[in-house]
Amino acid sequence: MMLPLPAARADDRPRESCGVFGVFAPDSDVARTTFFALYALQHRGQESAGIATSDLHTASVQRGMGLVAQVFNEDNLRPLRGALAVGHTRYSTTGSSNLRNAQPYLIETMHGPLAVAHNGNLTNSPLLRQRLLERGVGLQSTSDSEVITQLLAAPATDEVSASPWEARIGAFMAQAEGAYSLVVMTRDALFGVRDPLGLRPLCIGELPGDGGSRRYAIASESCALATVGARFLREVQPGEIVRVDGFGLRSTQGQPSLRRALCVFEYVYFARPDSLLEGQTVHSVRQRLGAALWRESPVAADVVVGVPDSALPAAIGFSRASGIPYSEGLTKNRYIGRTFIQPDDLLRRTGVSLKYNPLLCNLSGQRVVLIDDSIVRGNTAGPLVRLVREAGATEVHLRVSSPPVRFPCFMGVDMAIPDELIAHHRTVDEIRQHVEADSLAYLTPAGMMAAVRGDDAGAVRHCSACFDGNYPLSVQDWFDACSGKLAFEASAGHP
């Protein structure tokens, strides 16, 4: 049993678990379409990538470790032919980072091939895993995504086993707890599945077709649809099962959705700024977060600078609301952190200077408002403040466009364990002293939710548990299991 207990690291960013994509488009190069869609979703995970295809009879898969362009080339894409495909790009939360945990999972069943790509985390995965093992089902990986695949392939009752795939998926949803957005490929159909809380995003698009055939794609974010020329249709609704095949697109409700709880961190950090969530662009929401931050925590300054890349829209919003000029102050090396060559101890101690370089002409002699989207462990904020100060800034005021992260996530986001979260055991002023800023202010939970909900301010449809500890489902068993594993590893002398 592998539980999401990440080791301490220099990178202070939360990590999403993955991006998923599926396409039904006969008489087209579905593997190439999926490849470019995964490129657009690569911000959601850079550890591994994979594509599985079906020609309506047999299925093939290609998976590998690394970036999408490191995994695929013309030679290994060429054999991936078919009418439909599913793809996945991964960052591990449940299950270690190695090839056996790379997705999509592809297995042969009594009803033909089955491929599954999963974004999220099942909070009752240990229980479901144990049930499979007791039934004699063998598991090859430590990922809860393989548990999902086997639950679909080998339902617990003969009645469900003989049922159509929609019934199998519904039976899985009745057992599963936690976050899951799935793309599922059978021999001749593509499915999109979203958990009843809608914790992770999933959307549907239509590809241009020739003649009367309808071609559809399903993706974690609408940016992937735009990349492959698909027209955004709508989001997959919480608890919904969408089927795409030769007869078109059909929808069934797999499980009732009694409450919505899309992860608010999709708006704060994870999603690409050009993606659509709940009918609004992520970029516009981030600008509203920045404007709300100014209204709550104004400061006298000469220039507003955002931490590239996800905090830039919030910095623009802060600048527009305050009237303080916005300027680039940091340039980012986008290839650091996406290489298998790790820095040695001396280079690691130089911290963010490996990833960011200051623009001295825009910082020297200035009172700087430095905007970031979040502070998780606190490993990056201090070096960034020092970097700006060493570039000649006379004052550095740190503003964060989300509340303090005080609680871990159990729904598919690597948010660290409580003791690693700087705000879990420090006050805001203690954090200010730790990062050596002249002032520090976070956006309040109320300010964040008002900015995210916009005109629909009264709606309650987001999970903000990492900020307030109010989980949308029970996580006590998972939390106890994590704590037990942590204690075991400490007693065994593991880091």
| Residue 89 burial (C-beta neighbours within 10 Å; 0-12, 13-18, 19+) | buried
Contact 164, 170 (CB under 8 A): no
Peptide bond into 104 cis (omega under 30): yes
Q: Which value, to the nearest 10 degrees, does the dihedral of the CA atoms of residues 359, 400, 267, 69 take? A: 40
CA distance 287 to 89: 28
71's enclosing H/E stretch is helix 68-71
> What's the confidence (pLDDT) of residue 479?
57
C-beta of residue 207 within 8 angstroms of C-beta of residue 215: yes
Residues near 66 by beta carbon (within 8 Å), at least 6 away in sequence: 46, 47, 48, 49, 340
Distance CA 261, CA 280 (A): 16
- Structure confidence at residue 100 (pLDDT): 79
Q: What is the model's pLDDT at position 330?
A: 96
Helix (H) or strand (E) holding 243: strand 240-245
Identify the DSSP state of 326.
B
Q: For 395, which DSSP code?
A: E
Which run of H or of E encompasses 399?
strand 395-400
Write out 424-461 in H/E/C secondary structure: HHCCHHHHHHHHCCCEEEECCHHHHHHHHHCCCCCCCC
Tell me, what's the pLDDT at 431?
97
Three-state DSSP at 147 gives helix
Q: Cα–Cα distance between 184 and 105 in angstroms, integer?
A: 10
> What local confidence, expressed as pLDDT, does residue 156 receive?
76
**Regions in the chain scoring below 70 on pLDDT:** 1-17, 92-98, 158-159, 161-162, 210-212, 336-351, 414-416, 456-460, 475-495
Q: Compute the distance between CA of residue 310 and CA of residue 374 in angstroms, rounded to an integer.
A: 10
Total residues belonging to the chain: 495
CA distance 377 to 485: 21
Q: Which two tokens stand for residue 408?
A: 């871990």
Alpha helix (H) ranges present in 88-188?
125-134, 144-153, 158-161, 165-175
Domain boundaries of the chain, sorted by first residue: 18-260, 284-459
3-class SS at 357?
strand
Distance, in Å, from the CA atom of 235 to the CA atom of 400, rounded to the nearest integer, reads 29
Q: Report how far apart the first and last C-alpha atoms of the chain are (Å, whole number).
A: 18
Tokens 């999970």 belong to which residue?
A: 463
Active site residue 223: no
Kindly name the residue from 18, 203, 223, 482 that is annotated as catalytic.
Answer: 18
Query: What is the rounded CA–CA span in Å between residue 359 and residue 330?
Result: 6
For 354, 356, 368, the CA distances from 364, given in Å and listed in that order, are 21, 16, 9
CATH assignment, 284-459: 3.40.50.2020
Predicted pLDDT of residue 220: 98
Which residues pair with residue 204 across a beta bridge? 218, 234
Q: Cα–Cα distance between 208 and 225 in angstroms, integer?
A: 12
Q: Which amino acid is at 377?
A: R
| CA-wise closest residue to 30 among 187, 222, 228 | 228
Nearest to 204 by CA among 191, 214, 217: 217
Radius of gyration of the chain, Cα coordinates, nearest whole angstrom:
23
SS3 of residue 110 by DSSP = coil
The type of residue at 467 is F
Strands 395-400 and 367-372: parallel
CA–CA separation, 375 and 398 (whole Å)? 11
The CATH homologous superfamily of the domain defined by 18-260: Aminohydrolase, N-terminal nucleophile (Ntn) domain (3.60.20.10)
